[in-house]
């Protein structure tokens, strides 16, 4: 039984380590980008939650913040960037356009990025206030802490 205690403590430690060192890739396209700037800057400061380090390469980021409308022309680009991200990776859909296409229900816009990539946290709002964004980030951190972190050695065992 002791094995069980060790792994739960280890999982908790691993979740704690991962949730407070999120490197995020700001996939910014449209108006929500202005609100992302406010969130990332001094006034509302996303860095207080450990996620301040902006990485512009999918190779160095664990969290992709999809910010703004994703038209169909941009869909393959988003899919490629998501695929090229290192594991383990999380996705935050930031703004109404990423949730459901928002106010653009027409030929040009993807009606929600979960049609392209699996999404962890949805932040509604057009644009969401910075406080809502930080709340969404906290929810993601809670999800990282509580969900069962998968790591290679465990997979071989089970």
Partner 1 sequence: MLPIVLTFAVFGLLGVVLLFVNALLGPKRTNPAKETPFECGSPPLQKDIGPFPIKFSLIAFLFLLFDVEAAFFFPLALIVKEAKGPALAALVVFTAVIAAGFAYAWRKGAFEWE
Partner 2 sequence: MEEEKILDALRQACPDAVLSAEVSLGDAVAVIRGESLTAVAEFLRGAPLSLTFLLDLTCVHHPGRVEAFEMVYHFLSLDTNARIRIKAGLPAENPEIASLTGMWKNASWLEREVFDMFGVRFAGHPDLRRLLLYEGFEGHPLRKDYPLRKRQPRIPLRKAETK
Partner 3 sequence: MTTRFEREAQPESLLLNMGPSHPAMHGTIRIMLELDGERVLSSEVEIGYLHRGFEKTCENKSYFNLLIYTDRLNYVSPLINNLGYVMAVEKLCGLVVPEKAQIIRVLMSELSRVSDHLTALAAMAMESGAFTVFLYKMKAREFLWDVIEQTTGARMTTSYIRIGGVRADLHADFAGACRRAVAETHKVLKDVHGLLDKNKIFLDRTRDIAVMSRADAVSYGWTGPCLRSTGIPYDIRKARPYLLYDRLDFEVPVGERGDNYDRYMVRMKEMDQSLRLIEQCVGLLEKMPAASTADGLAPAEAIRMARGQKPVRPVILSPNLEGADRTVQPEIYAAAPGYVLPPKDETYTTMEGLINHFGYFMKGHGIRPPRGEVYFSVEGGNGELGYYIVSDGTDRPYRLHLRAPCFHVVAALEQLIRGRLIADIIPTFGSMNMIGGELDR
Where do contacts with partner 2 occur on this chain (CB under 8 A)? 72-73, 75-76, 79, 105-108, 110-112, 114-116, 118-120
Nearest approach in angstroms of CB 43 to partner 1 is: 29
Binding residues for partner 3, per CB under 8 A?
A: 27-31, 33-35, 37-38, 41-43, 56, 68-69, 71, 73-74, 77-78, 81, 103-109, 126-127, 129
Asked if 13 interacts with partner 1 (CB under 8 A), we say no
**Interhelix angle 2-19/130-146, nearest 10 degrees:** 160
Asked if 152 interacts with partner 1 (CB under 8 A), we say yes
Nearest approach in angstroms of CB 111 to partner 1 is: 20
First to last CA, the chain: 16
Asked if 77 interacts with partner 1 (CB under 8 A), we say yes
What tokens does 10 get?
Answer: 């280890």
Asked if 86 interacts with partner 1 (CB under 8 A), we say yes
6-12, long-range: CB < 8 A, 24+ apart: 7/154, 11/148, 11/149, 12/145
Nearest approach in angstroms of CB 106 to partner 1 is: 23
Nearest approach in angstroms of CB 72 to partner 1 is: 14
CA-to-CA separations, 63 to 5, 29, 71, 72, 127, in angstroms, rounded: 29, 16, 21, 22, 20
């Amino acid at each position: 039984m002791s094995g069980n205690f060790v792994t739960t403590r280890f999982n908790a430690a691993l979740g704690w380590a991962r949730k407070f060192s999120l490197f995020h890739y700001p996939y910014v396209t449209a108006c929500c980008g202005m609100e992302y700037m406010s969130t990332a800057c001094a006034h509302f400061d996303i860095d207080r939650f450990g996620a301040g380090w902006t990485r512009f390469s999918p190779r160095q980021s664990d969290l992709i913040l999809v910010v703004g409308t994703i038209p169909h022309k941009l869909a393959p680009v988003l899919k490629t960037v998501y695929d090229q991200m290192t594991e383990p990776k999380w996705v935050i859909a930031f703004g109404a356009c990423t949730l459901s296409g928002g106010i653009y229900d027409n030929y040009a816009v993807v009606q929600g990025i979960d049609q392209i990539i699996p999404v962890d946290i949805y932040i509604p709002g057009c644009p969401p206030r910075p406080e809502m964004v930080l709340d969404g980030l906290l929810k993601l951190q809670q999800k990282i802490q509580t969900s069962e972190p998968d790591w290679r050695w465990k997979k071989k065992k089970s």
